[in-house]
Amino acid sequence: MKTDEAVSLVKAKLPEKRFNHSLRVAETAVKLAEIYDGDKDKAELAGILHDYSKYDDLGSMYQMVRQYDLDSDLLSYGSEILHGPVCAVIMENQFGVTDEEVLLAIKNHTTGRAQMSKTEKLVFIADYIEPGRQTPGVEEIRDLAYNQGSLDNTIYEISKRTVLYLITKDITVYNATIACLNYYNYSDERVKDD
């Protein structure tokens, strides 16, 4: 899928604020791709598309989980987690997106996971730090991403903040979120395999 096609698709589907967020995520992911030698085209496409399913009806999303044999644990979560995996299957099956890194970046943009590809990392971080985000402490994460030279350390700090937030709100933490937190915790001595 070409950039302008993706932009039209998302513009027609999402409210203006969410559409603008999507464009900012794409721009931010491209900026990070420049710094970290990523694939700008993949980062841009995944950024534009990542929240396409954000407001889809929950019943139809559960239906997709069954139809496409997605992780059945997703049936215990709402649209916060589901919109990524559902968007990825829609893009692959209805809109002919074939690039595996783009599809994975869309799928895992909310939770992250262990052993993410470069494009997944860029979109996961871009979604958190795009200039419209005002989450407390986001400046610290922007500094890490833009000036400290480590995608993995940035991912760990985002993951840590997200998990701490979920716990304080008594919100159930999804498996991949925990796996991401542990995998990118470099203060622990395990050898990473990528």
- Residue 172 binds which entry of ligand DGI, Fe ion, none, with Cβ cut-offs from 5 to 8 Å by kind? ligand DGI
Q: By rule CB under 5 A, what count of residues binds Fe ion? A: 2
Binding to Fe ion (CB under 5 A) within 52-111 occurs at none
- Residue 173 binds which entry of ligand DGI, Fe ion, none, with Cβ cut-offs from 5 to 8 Å by kind? ligand DGI
Q: Which is nearer to Fe ion, 92 or 130 (CB)?
A: 130
**Is residue 43 within 8 Å of residue 29, measured between CB atoms?**
yes
28 binds ligand DGI (CB under 6 A): no
> Which range, of 44-52, 91-99, 100-108, 162-170, touches Fe ion by CB under 5 A?
44-52
171 binds ligand DGI (CB under 6 A): yes
Q: Which is nearer to Fe ion, 133 or 185 (CB)?
A: 133
179 binds ligand DGI (CB under 6 A): no
51 binds Fe ion (CB under 5 A): yes
Distance, CA of 155 to chain centre: 11
159 binds ligand DGI (CB under 6 A): no
Min. distance of Cβ 8 from Fe ion in angstroms? 19
Q: Distance between CA atoms of 140 and 28, rounded to whole angstroms?
A: 16
Residues that bind ligand DGI (CB under 6 A): 51, 54, 77, 80-81, 109-111, 127, 162, 166, 171-174, 177
